Structure 1
Amino acid sequence: MSEIDHVARRRPASTQRWAGLIAATLAILSVASPAQARLPPGQDPFYQYSGNTPLRDIAPGTVLKTRTVPYHVVGFPLPIKTTQLLYRSTGQLGQPTVNVTSVIRPLLSLGRQKLISYQSFYDSLNPDDQPSYAISGGLTLGGLIPNIETALIAPFLAQGYSITIPDTQGQKANFAAGREYGMNTLDSLRATLSSSAVGLPADTKAALIGYSGGAIATEWAAELAPSYAPDMDRRIVGSSMGGVLVHPGHNLHYVDGSILWAGIMPMAIIGASRSYEVDLTPYLNDHGKMLHERLQKASIINVLGQYPGLTWASMAKPEYQSPETIPAFVEIVNDLIMSTGGTPSAPMLIRQGAAGELEGTLGNKPGIGRGDGVMIAGDVRSLALEYCARGVKVQYGQSELLSHVGAAAAWIPETLLWINDRFAGRRAPQNCAWIAPGNSLAPIPAP
């Protein structure tokens, strides 16, 4: 398979020109299409809980509001009915929250009903970039990603699957908050399967799929399901993911100074601060604080390729040139190491690229090694091996010649076939004995 690496070759100035062109196109469409009347989530009453019962007294996954909207692509409605559900969920610190999922039923479905929970890779600090807003007709630059993902879910709809698409990051856009992603996903399943408006049978099974940011939600949902949502764990037939963020502390060093992905660092700092309610700005220098302020509502589209060579050292005060010297940082990233929240019950398919050099990220850093440009192959192999040791059936594939974008192209058709087999009841494949050793996933020592 040929590598899809045009993104890596794009100059930062070119990225900015494309972003400007897309923004201008969206501005035109917002005037010309019905989407101009759609309120953003922060202003839309549908996203707000207005009941008298305190949220803490409502069970996670309970449906609080329901509405039906046409499915939109770039603001234009399609003749596909979508049911949107406001439901009770749980935040990163365990606090009661509300969230929204969008459920799409196929035009034709024969035999036993099947449900896909598709976790978007919308990766944004802006609550207006949520999939539910894009699906209901909203237009934002970051919301382009959920629109593009329509092509990824279409093959499942064509085969008769129902699809639920949760706003995995929650109402505050808590970027990279893995546990919250997972709980939002599991409670989305609860809401979808209990909703009379959706109308799925009580015995419906589900599969989880997601790439990159969607893999964060998929993996954390899979590992949290036995403890947080055992009622949903019994329904999950498998989880497929690719481009996986396993040990965030390692990834910060991996993208440090890279060409395409360095801008993800300030986004991660903002997301961690927001989700854990910790202020990390005292550790930043003036440049770091400027980026922290500028990117408060940034999408991945706003940073991809636009901060080439950015380093942690260029953002931090001299006494904090290593992030491991910051106690709050260490506590946060250790809490986000995958496999620390439990063990998945269902089989897993994991795809990871290892040609990150194609996207401008070096693969020669000690203890890190090669990755896909933003995710680290050695960490993902260790996660797979850890679950193998715990008895999970894991099928792991490493694309040596593909980067993050290219490996996604390999993962999509592989996932479709693998998911079909899980619902057909076929025996899940596993290749644990052939997975090469990876990196240590040990927590970072406290400073």
Structure 2
Amino acid sequence: MNRRLGALVSALAVTALGAGTAVVPAEAVSTTAATAVAQAGPLDDPFYDYSGATPLRDVPPGTVLKTRTVPYSVQGVDLPLEAVQILYRTRNTIGRPAVNVTSVVRPVVPLGDPKVISYQSFYDSLNPADQPSAAIAGGSGIGPSIANVETALFAPMLLAGYTINIADTEGQRADFASSTEYGYTTLDSLRAIAQAPATGVGRRAPVGLIGYSGGAIASEWAAELAHDYAPDVARRIVGTAIGGVFVHPGHNLHYVDGSLVWAGVLPMALIGLSRSYHVDLARYANAKGKALLQKMRSASITSALGTHPGLTWASIVKPRYSTPESVRPLVTIANKLIMGRFHTPTAPMFIGQGTGGVLEGTSPDEKLGNGDGVMVAGDVRALARRYCRRGVSVSYKQYPLSHVTAAAVWAPQAYAWLLGRFGDTEAPSSCGDIKPGNSLAPLKYVG
């Protein structure tokens, strides 16, 4: 092992150890997050702005607009590693042209022809300063710490000779929970890195998609949309590995309602969907709800978990909107984001899902059953079975664990499965053994 490789392994080990032992009080999280918003950071760099002569609407999706190379940073400390960052053209949820950034890390020791692991982060935040590119370029604080910690998750693939692609999947406005946008930004990032000589990828390199939780949203939607939106990328996708999957947003609103740890994602989702679809969902909120939505407009998942125990939908909306189904625009939006409703992946899938949600303070839903605390297991099984019926080879694993603890079991299985897709072995399938799940029918508006 050369010195550079050894230094990288040591740095990543320290990062992982620190992430596993740090305990941060909720008050400190809130204070740190507020300070991070007020201070200038990597996102203020003009690199993130497009000022070209050609109107963005006339620039093809995936076009490289700017490229730079930065030291790979963890909490502001540079590792012996560099990242190529690319500003590229993509689109937002409602189809308008937008710019976005992806970060590419080349393998320390390249082995053979280029192979790409597209790692989709679970940074889950309403604050653009928390996105991976900003964290990698020197960002610090609680929000960027998620993207920093994830370095240890994909490090084995980097050391094995794979190029790592990490897009800012929520876009530059941090459109949290806007699932399809995650897919578009991911696909266009893969178009962009194929065009940029500095990445060393080229246009023929095979691609494997992987992500957990928020990263699973981006990975699944990229796989699902690829055939129709980016057939040039679809041809290169060899497999998609996801875990902790957000299948049916309407169901999840009910599942986390009143939970101890995950109830805070409810207002976060309302803010993100309002922002991305240009719809004012705050008009349905009562005074308490409006104050909460205002307070959380730049919240990270790190400041939302466990800080709103028992929060319910009914407690933050006006009486006439006592259920999500009574808010017409929310029903319309949620139904657009049901996975597998309109599109189908073209490559094999590995799907893992926990069922031990009670460990994180979420009781099984009377109609939907159990889940991992935030994601509904019956929905995930239904998605897997749907894809099986459409001819996709699906390997499905279910764990009696919570959302957080299931990730530790899922990750090594997912990586092992994904590495196998770059070879000649046939993808294993459990399509004949997946138990029935929930109906994935769209929500019905109840006015």
Q: What is residue 170 of structure 2 aligned with on the other side? A: 169
> 1:15·1:306 contact (CA, 8 Å) conserved in 2?
no
Q: Which amino acid aligns with 2:281?
A: L
* 1:306 partner SS: coil
* 2:316 partner SS: coil
1 or 2 for the larger relative contact order (CA 8 Å, sep ≥6)?
1
Residue 29 (structure 2) pairs with residue 19 (structure 1): yes
Residue 262 (structure 2) pairs with residue 252 (structure 1): no
Q: What is residue 307 of structure 2 aligned with on the other side? A: 306
Deviation at 1:107, TM superposition (A): 1.1
Residue 52 (structure 2) pairs with residue 51 (structure 1): yes
Deviation per residue, 1:66-94 (Å, 9 max, x gap): 00001011110011111000000010001
Deviation at 1:112, TM superposition (A): 2.1
Residue 387 (structure 2) pairs with residue 377 (structure 1): no
> How do 1:183-222 and structure 2 match up within 5 A?
183-222=184-223
Q: What is residue 236 of structure 2 aligned with on the other side? A: 235
* 1:143 partner SS: helix
> 2:125·2:174 contact (CA, 8 Å) conserved in 1?
yes
Deviation at 1:256, TM superposition (A): 0.3
CA distance in 2, matches of 1:98, 1:105: 23
Deviation at 1:419, TM superposition (A): 1.3
Deviation at 1:116, TM superposition (A): 0.6
* 1:67 partner SS: strand
Q: What is residue 122 of structure 2 aligned with on the other side? A: 121
> How do 1:381-400 and structure 2 match up within 5 A?
381-400=381-400
> 1:288·1:316 contact (CA, 8 Å) conserved in 2?
yes
Deviation per residue, 1:228-267 (Å, 9 max, x gap): 0000000000000000000000001000000000000000
Deviation per residue, 1:189-212 (Å, 9 max, x gap): 000111112122332100000000
Alignment length (residue pairs): 422
Q: What is residue 10 of structure 1 aligned with on the other side? A: none
CA distance in 1, matches of 2:24, 2:139: 26
> 1:238·1:347 contact (CA, 8 Å) conserved in 2?
yes
* RMSD (Å) for aligned C-alpha atoms: 1.7
Structure 2 unmatched runs, 5+: 1-22
> 1:15·1:305 contact (CA, 8 Å) conserved in 2?
no
CA distance in 2, matches of 1:91, 1:352: 28
Q: What is residue 326 of structure 2 aligned with on the other side? A: 325
Where do 4+ consecutive residues of structure 1 move more than 3 Å?
Answer: 20-24
Q: Which amino acid aligns with 1:418?
A: W
Deviation at 1:340, TM superposition (A): 2.2
TM-score (norm 1): 0.92
Q: What is residue 42 of structure 2 aligned with on the other side? A: 40
Q: What is residue 295 of structure 2 aligned with on the other side? A: 294
Q: Which amino acid aligns with 1:40?
A: P
CA distance in 1, matches of 2:184, 2:380: 21
CA distance in 2, matches of 1:71, 1:438: 42
Q: What is residue 62 of structure 1 aligned with on the other side? A: 63
Deviation per residue, 1:128-154 (Å, 9 max, x gap): 111000000112321110011011010
CA distance in 2, matches of 1:79, 1:163: 16
Deviation at 1:20, TM superposition (A): 6.4
Residue 431 (structure 2) pairs with residue 429 (structure 1): no
> 1:350·1:396 contact (CA, 8 Å) conserved in 2?
yes
* 1:350 partner SS: strand
Closer, same or farther: CA 20–98 of 1 in aligned 2, 3 Å: closer
> 2:100·2:172 contact (CA, 8 Å) conserved in 1?
yes
* 2:381 partner SS: helix
